[in-house]
Structure 1
Amino acid sequence: MKRTVLGIIIAAIVLYIWGFIYWGFGPYSTMIWKKSTDDVAAGKALQEFFPQNGTYFVPSFDQDQKLVETLYEEGPVAYVHMLSINGRPIMADFSNLIQGFFLNLVVIILIAILLNQVCTSLPGYLDRVKFVALAGLISAIFYDCGDAVWWMLDWSWELYQAFYGFSAWLVIGLILAKFIEPEMKQDSPT
């Protein structure tokens, strides 16, 4: 149990550092996200037409079906996430970082439970790493590529997110596979 807990803690710290590097220094804000032609005017329009925080789909589906079809055909069609209608500091408050760490920790615990359930079938270190990496790849493809397919979100953004998701699972697998081994099967992290 102690080895598993130690592996979870190390994985949580390393993943947090990896996330900081990936999201802090990555090109998404300058190379992947598109820019409006006028941020001030766009911001005012967003405040006027999207009056509260939340996710909007334009045109909305809760109106006459013929009108929705016409609006769809004429465009634009948009998926809008209002994050802070009244603004916020450029850097989110510290609680966001703490919540992110605990989210990572919960996911790592769940992956440790998963790995513990199958580790007797995965005798080698690389077998366990490949198992976790494959699960991460499946998750990234299903979730992020699914958003690109089903919601038509931008492929470059979704692939950027998918790569992070996969790489996070890989980092977790590289670490947990050292701490969760077949002879430890009875050592559950729960």
Structure 2
Amino acid sequence: MGRLLVGSLVAAAAMFVIGFLFYGTPMFSAAYRTAPLETQMTVQEALKALPASGTYFIPMGEDEAAMAAHRAGPTAMIRVSLQGSEMMDPMVMVKGFIHMAVSAFLLGLLLYRVAPKIWDFGGRMAVVVLASLAVVVFARLGEPIWFGADWPFTLYVAVTDVISLVVAGFILAKWFLPRSHPAS
């Protein structure tokens, strides 16, 4: 289990670097749109009227007026934090690294579970790739299908997630799992 913990931290470090490459460089700006500053301030001011932080669907309601407004558009799913935050909060990086380490640990547990039956690296990587795809396709690609999220941003995040998980799985499968059958 100690090897798995160390491996999870190493894998999380690799995931962190991948995250920086995809989210901390100008490449990320291709995944989203930015409204003019005046529009941003108008929307931000309107958000202050919301009763609490949370996720809001706009428009939303069961009456005909809400349904007509939804048909006419525009529509939005907005995740609101009323208290605000630093744009580059260092604690987000710490929490993000912990999130990555836990994710890598769970992937490592899956690999440990199948390790006694799959001894070759290619077989283990097939498990990693398929598990990564299953998780990302279900969790990420459902957002545009069910909630109207835009496809370009969703696909950008999904590709980043698959790459991160596959690299983490590669690290765990290559260096932190048993490599041969135990002696009989």
CA offset digits 1:96-145 (Å, max 9, x no partner): 21111111111111111111111123221122122112111111111111
CA offset digits 1:136-159 (Å, max 9, x no partner): 111111111111111120000110
Moved more, 110-119 or 121-130: 121-130
Q: Take 2:151 and 2:63, find their aligned partners in 1: how far apart are those partners? A: 28
Pick aligned residue for 1:133 from 123, 129, 132: 129
Are the aligned partners of 1:147 and 1:153 in contact in 2 as well (CA < 8 Å)? Answer: yes
**Does residue 34 of structure 2 align to residue 35 of structure 1?**
yes
Q: Take 1:73 and 1:11, find their aligned partners in 2: how far apart are those partners? A: 45
Any stretches of 5+ residues in structure 1 without a counterpart? 186-190
Are the aligned partners of 1:53 and 1:82 in contact in 2 as well (CA < 8 Å)? Answer: yes
Sequence identity, in percent? 27
Q: Secondary structure at the match of 1:122?
A: coil
Q: Take 1:86 and 1:105, find their aligned partners in 2: how far apart are those partners? A: 28
Q: CA deviation at 1:90?
A: 2.2
1:99 partner letter? K
TM alignment of 1:88-107, pairs within 5 A = 88-92=85-89, 94-107=90-103
Q: Take 2:181 and 2:101, find their aligned partners in 1: how far apart are those partners? A: 21
Aligned match of 2:107 = 111
Q: Take 2:5 and 2:84, find their aligned partners in 1: how far apart are those partners? A: 40
Q: Secondary structure at the match of 1:36?
A: coil
Aligned match of 1:44 = 45
Q: Secondary structure at the match of 1:109?
A: helix
The 1:124–1:54 alpha-carbon spacing in structure 2 relative to 1, beyond 3 Å, is: same
Q: CA deviation at 1:56?
A: 0.5
Q: Take 1:26 and 1:140, find their aligned partners in 2: how far apart are those partners? A: 24
Moved more, 7-16 or 139-148: 7-16
Q: Secondary structure at the match of 2:85?
A: coil
CA offset digits 1:72-102 (Å, max 9, x no partner): 222222111113x35433212x222111111
Q: CA deviation at 1:27?
A: 2.6
Normalised by the length of structure 2, the TM-score is: 0.86
Are the aligned partners of 1:55 and 1:81 in contact in 2 as well (CA < 8 Å)? Answer: yes
Are the aligned partners of 1:122 and 1:182 in contact in 2 as well (CA < 8 Å)? Answer: no
Q: Secondary structure at the match of 1:161?
A: helix
Q: Take 2:163 and 2:74, find their aligned partners in 1: how far apart are those partners? A: 34
Aligned match of 1:188 = none
Q: Take 1:162 and 1:9, find their aligned partners in 2: how far apart are those partners? A: 22
Aligned match of 2:169 = 173
Q: CA deviation at 1:31?
A: 2.1
Aligned match of 1:75 = 73
